[in-house]
Structure 1
Amino acid sequence: MTQQTSAKAIVIFDIDGVVRDVGGSYRRAIADTVEYFTTQAYRPTPLDIDQLKSEGVWNNDWEASQELIYRYFETQGQTREQLQLDYNAIVAFFQSRYRGSDPNNFTGYICNEPLLLQPSYLEQLTQAGIAWGFFSGATRGSANYILEKRLGLQSPVLIAMEDAPGKPDPTGLFATVRELENGIEQKLAIIIYVGDTVADMYTVEKARGLDSARTWIGVGVLPPHVQETASRSDAYGETLLAAGAAVVLRNVQELTPRQIQELVSSSA
């Protein structure tokens, strides 16, 4: 039995880069999409994609793909008004790579995403009296595929792309908290959101500004693709800290009940 934490808390997880490694799936699909719509003239590097996402407003990978396509053509002297990109065509191409071309079954890059946490880790949190759920910009189908089919979770609390505005709008974070508190007599004062992007940390900051009665803590996780070199890890970690992360971890499972207790104590 895991040692009980004295402070009960809610931990909410982002999915991409936290629960699953999307370096070879979502990010690969972004690169494929940008390359296709620039007629093979430009394929963004992982660093290019990170730099875009560090702006804190490109959590939606379809919109991120479109923005990278626009920015490439702007370097070639064309304006957005001239281009008039077809957003639906961008989404369709992206999905053909990420989900695959079969409308009834996932056959694309999503099938090969490495898991970054195990169900036993979530059971540790439950035993420690810590409620947990998920708030992600991924589509509900994609999120449920990883949570239910791959991890074997039974109807976990999930707020996905279709359920709330995109991050850093905190509406979805508040909705996840409400679902987790359903049936609990006393509102929980400690909310921890675990994410891998600047937008995730900005979401926590905005939630704090709208609900100061609770303690909101942002926990950053380094996605696997930035951990290939120490300098890249350090730079990415510094970016998350600057965006408001209380701590940056190399893997989500480092956020143990003991670590949660330390975060709660230091924020008191």
Structure 2
Amino acid sequence: MTHPQSQTFTSQSTAIVIFDIDGVVRDVAGSYRRAIADTVEHFTNGVHRPSGVEIDQLKSEGFWNNDWEASQEIVYRYFERQGQTRMQVDLNYDALIAFFQSRYQGTDPEHWTGYICTEPLLIQSSSLERLTAAGISWGFFSGAPRREALYALTTRLGLVNPVLIAMEDAPGKPDPTGLLATIEQLGQRHNLELNTPVLYAGDTVADMYTIQKAKTLYPKRTWIGVGILPPHVQAIPERCEAYQQTLQSAGAAVVLSHVEQLTPERIQQLVLQG
């Protein structure tokens, strides 16, 4: 079987699809989001453990893609509700990161045993192979640290040398620098035409804002935001509908319940709709 990353594209590629990872490639409700809740609980002295709804509400603001920063922000807001200013809160960011990572990766940085090891995958390599066969170029842009992103892509999915822009490589979303860098790497690797249409599949407001900012910078190119509903919002219909509306309001051209619904046929349809 031809590996999905081994085919050579030509300038005739019909589209570029870039995937976010968390909530799109892997389900992080029981990992990253659980680590956020653990971290907030720890740094509020066991008093406040944020619900999934509270975390989603923060993420819907569009500026908290980094989960360390999101954890810190929830801690600050908790103490503000208790009448304290942020200057009064004794919160060491490095200590917060260390605690978060001890939950997410585990206590041994070389041999992970934390929540990351239990994340369900939301896409199979066969879906990427179908994109390759249809002449669609693909890569990944994620706010996750590179090692954690590659754990999902190479260790779990079995991809070989995928195009990936991660936390260390670009400013955080919604800054579009990382998205543009992913496109540039794909263009160089596969000899793509300059204005090949771009789709970005993500599960957060920040993802949709990112592609809207790219569209502002390069309006002659076709930019399509594809919202993906993360599994944790789909159990309750009202919450699912509200999350879908939030992504649409942030600029999603379409919102799908599963990333594998983004088939070559659906991609072509979206590109034609422009």
What is the aligned counterpart of 2:134 among 108, 128, 136? 128
Partner Cα separation in structure 1 for residue 158 and residue 258 of structure 2: 20
Report the secondary structure of 2:48's partner residue: coil
Counterpart in the other structure of 2:256: 249
TM-score (norm 2): 0.94
Aligned-residue CA RMSD (Å): 1.0
| 1:170-227 Cα deviation digits (max 9, x unpaired) | 0000000000000415224200000000000000100000111211100000000000
Counterpart in the other structure of 1:77: 83
What is the aligned counterpart of 1:238 among 213, 235, 245? 245
User: Structure 2, unaligned stretches of length 5 or more?
Assistant: 1-11
What is the aligned counterpart of 2:170 among 159, 164, 168? 164
Partner Cα separation in structure 2 for residue 8 and residue 189 of structure 1: 7
The structure-2 alpha-carbon separation of the partners of 1:244 and 1:71, relative to structure 1 and needing over 3 Å to count, comes to same
Partner Cα separation in structure 2 for residue 96 and residue 67 of structure 1: 19
Partner Cα separation in structure 2 for residue 54 and residue 214 of structure 1: 27
Partner Cα separation in structure 1 for residue 37 and residue 43 of structure 2: 10
Counterpart in the other structure of 1:196: 203
The alignment status of 1:91 with 2:127, answered yes or no, reads: no
Q: How many residues align?
A: 262
Counterpart in the other structure of 2:184: 178
Map 1:32-111 → 2, pairs under 5 A:
32-111=38-117
Partner Cα separation in structure 1 for residue 120 and residue 267 of structure 2: 25
TM-score (norm 1): 0.96
| 1:56-93 Cα deviation digits (max 9, x unpaired) | 00000000000000000000000001114210000000
Partner Cα separation in structure 1 for residue 192 and residue 256 of structure 2: 32
The structure-2 alpha-carbon separation of the partners of 1:47 and 1:144, relative to structure 1 and needing over 3 Å to count, comes to same
Partner Cα separation in structure 1 for residue 255 and residue 123 of structure 2: 16
Q: Is the 8 A contact 1:9 1:189 kept in 2?
A: yes
Structure 1 counterpart of 2:259, one-letter code: V
% same residue: 66
Counterpart in the other structure of 1:30: 36
Structure 1 stretch displaced more, 78-87 or 39-48: 78-87
| 1:24-62 Cα deviation digits (max 9, x unpaired) | 000000000000000011000000000000000000000
Report the secondary structure of 2:175's partner residue: coil
The structure-2 alpha-carbon separation of the partners of 1:213 and 1:72, relative to structure 1 and needing over 3 Å to count, comes to same
What is the aligned counterpart of 1:151 among 117, 134, 157? 157
User: Structure 1, unaligned stretches of length 5 or more?
Assistant: 1-5
Report the secondary structure of 1:236's partner residue: helix
Partner Cα separation in structure 1 for residue 161 and residue 133 of structure 2: 18
